[in-house]
Structure 1
Amino acid sequence: MSSIILLGIKHCGKTTQGKLLSKHFSCPFFDTDDEVTALTGKTPRELYSELGKDAFLEAEKNACKRLAEKLSGSERAVIATGGGICNNPDALAELHKIGTFLFLNADEKTASDRIVREIAYDAVGSMKNLPAYIAKENPKNVQDVRAIFHNFYIERQKLYQAVCDIEIKLEHSASKSENTKKILACIEADGGKK
């Protein structure tokens, strides 16, 4: 019985579904972003902005390696990954040793709406709390945020589809529990082939 490793764009529901799946299977839940923080003392966002992309990718790989070592020989765990792990082949390789990659494919509007909801503004009206890949483009308004996200979303979809073992199209109009049932049905249909 392999671990379930959830991939997908930021705000697709990896953490929410991961916790629901771990409850269903009575197994531990891990988040690779939390593992990065435990290893480095910095959040992924802090690591990326303070030390750069390469330092973050190395920390993510090391966190995934440590997690894979901790879980090797275990029955099953559910792991939510950071949204950018599709650009970190070394981290993916570590996790693929212990589990099956499930791509939680959320529609663009749902993911974009969740990013927009988290926008905060500072005293001079500049946008804060944006994902790094959007912030670095210096969007001036919400329309800019959505346009930047659109191009990013299209590219990421291709990457997730290329590395996943199972793709699950989540329904934005469905409840969390309905989407969990859909994920469980896909896992069962796959039959734990890995």
Structure 2
Amino acid sequence: MGTKDNIVLIGMPGAGKSTVGVVLAKVLGCRFLDSDLVIQEETGRLLHEIISEDGVDGFLEIENDVNSRIETSRSIIATGGSVVYGEQAMRHLKEIGTVVYLELSCEEIRKRLGDLRKRGVALKEGQTLEALYAERVPLYEKYADVTLCCGGKRMRQIVSELSAVFQPEGE
């Protein structure tokens, strides 16, 4: 598969990056790496603690730094929803893998999410989910090598569509 043999999942919080990633890794027989967990391991803090202690900008700096140093192969990498703000991180992730945007409508994200702050979502003061969505979608689209519309689909269907892209029949 060469050096670009990872699959990098990007998308809004609640789009299912971690859940899809774990199942996809099982189906394709690769490793699974959740970059939010790497951040927590490296800093010894939970995401929402980093955000409340260092602010959103401080968190984004840490996220950009950690993601730009990920070295792995044959892995599914689930990233945090805000990874696309980090130019270094995205450059690096595109070098080591294929970037897949799990696309969902703002409405569906809202239904799935619940309390944004408890989830460690990098929201600026007074920013609404709609504003965040509008700000991030162009970035997801800019960096995506593959976009998969996930609206109204079950987990199994999303995983099977992705595994068909990365493991075509007959291989």
Quickly name the TM-score band, shorter chain normalised.
0.7 to 0.9
Task: Return the offset for 1:54.
Answer: 3.8
Are the equivalent residues in 2 in contact too, given 1:166–1:186 (CA < 8 A)?
Answer: no
Task: Return the offset for 1:49.
Answer: 1.8
In 1, Cα distance between equivalents of 2:157 and 2:126: 36
Task: Return the offset for 1:57.
Answer: 2.6
Aligned length: 164
SS at structure 1 position matched to 2:123: helix
Matched, 1:153 2:133: yes
Name the counterpart of 1:33.
36
Name the counterpart of 2:162.
183
In 1, Cα distance between equivalents of 2:44 and 2:88: 21
In 2, Cα distance between equivalents of 1:162 and 1:132: 20
Q: Once superposed, which parts of structure 1, at least 4 consecutive aligned residues long, lie more than 4 Å away?
A: none
With normalisation by structure 1, the TM-score equals 0.76
State the one-letter code of the partner of 1:89: E
Deviations 1:13-62 (A, max 9, x none): 00010001110111110111101011111122211220123432332233
Task: Return the offset for 1:171.
Answer: 2.8
Name the counterpart of 1:19.
22
Task: Return the offset for 1:152.
Answer: 1.8
What RMSD, in angstroms, separates the aligned Cα atoms of the two structures? 2.1
Structure that is richer in helix per residue: 1
1:8-157 correspondence to structure 2 within 5 Å: 8-68=11-71, 71=72, 74=73, 76-116=74-114, 118=115, 129=118, 131-133=121-123, 136-137=125-126, 148-157=128-137
Gaps of 5+ in 1: 120-127, 139-147, 190-194
With normalisation by structure 2, the TM-score equals 0.85
State the one-letter code of the partner of 1:160: Y
Aligned sequence identity (%): 29
Larger radius of gyration: 1
Task: Return the offset for 1:82.
Answer: 0.3
Task: Return the offset for 1:133.
Answer: 1.0
| Larger RCO (CA under 8 A, 6+ residues apart) | 2
